[in-house]
Structure 1
Amino acid sequence: MFTPSPDAPTPDERQRFLRLLRTALAERRFQRLLLNRHEGEDASIERLTVRDIELRGERALSFLWRHKTKDVTKNHPLDEGLALIDALLGRDFQQAHLDTLAEEVQLRFSRKGKPLLQVGKKGAPPRPVKTPAAWRASRRPAGTTAPSPGSCRPTVLSGATSASRTRSRASPRSCRRWPASGSRSTSSSRSSARRSARRAWTRRARRCGWLISARARAT
């Protein structure tokens, strides 16, 4: 097992931060670098934002200097930009925040100038919430489609045998036949008309029978 000698210098937190920055740029995982807590000569500077861009087919670093009254953008080649960031850390800016695709790295300097590094992993993106229609679609067997409202077409599964295709089954919910509006009132009026006609015929028959019996008694 290799044990480093006590005389070998160990990289400090500032050098680790610069190494993480170079690795993120080399692996195309770099998103943004933000430098704040400015303590340089120009008091109008608030912060510096660095982004990875491409100019004329070559990679470069875009420096956006945010002042109190204006913004100044300067583009530098990759190596020149990294050297400038190395010179600014701990001298003009006392805090740096690095965003990559998988990590969030923060470097800050104490009042005594000691660098402190924090590395955190980014959480997984939230899972999309399924709507009721999407949930029903995921529960539906493969090769089937949702029946349209009011249709009684049988559902046929893809890949089924000829015997199962002949025994098609319609959905009871989609094939339910409700009476049209006003049909119940129409049927009730028809039945009441039949009953009144039957009562009128009965009264007429009884009257005819009474007249026949009266004539027979008179003779």
Structure 2
Amino acid sequence: RIVEDSLSIPLAMITSQPSDTAVYLDNSNKADFSVAFSSPNATYQWAFSANGTNWVNLPAASSALNGGKTPNLHLKAVQLAFNNLMFKCIITVDTCTYETNPATLFVYSTTPSGMVSNGNDLTSTTTNINSQGSKLMNEVPKVKLYPNPTSGQVSITPVVEGTYRIFNEVGRSMGEGEIKEQFDFSSHPAGMYMLILQIDGNTQYLRVIKQ
């Protein structure tokens, strides 16, 4: 009787994608992007693009960055001109190549009022305190936008109560008020906008692309 041994072939895959990152230059000029891959034998190459079509490979290290050929890219001299640059990582294992989804770098000159910055993550200064005195953040639904990109109106779901602020690509406020079901971008120029929602002491950041 012939017994066949099953072969265990490790599956190579991207297990964690880089995320969009916001930098507020009055607090920090540094940004980080990271990727995780299932194979320990992978090689990494980070690249950037201004339009999502033409990509330029980054060096392993320079005066402006570290980790250009590692899973963790660290930008240490972010400027306002870097706003809306996209970053992705090309991963190679043997003869196979994998690419991450592009992640966008948003750069603003100042931190929005009422917010505090902790590295690249912004959180509301408002928290709730339970009877034992420990901090307890309210659970709120994650809001989604549609259609996005949009040529005019964009709707949110689910509809929640709270306040909003809209900032353009250079960090200029484009409006604020009570959260509503629809937002009208028809009079705004084409580009990227940041819709910041404050809901029960929590903050959500939604990128809007106006065509």
Q: Which has the higher contact order (CA 8 A, sep 6+)?
A: 2
If you compute each CA radius of gyration, which structure gives the higher value, 1 or 2? Answer: 1
Higher strand share: 2
- Normalising TM by the smaller chain, what interval? under 0.3
- What TM-score does the superposition give when structure 1 sets the normalisation length? 0.20
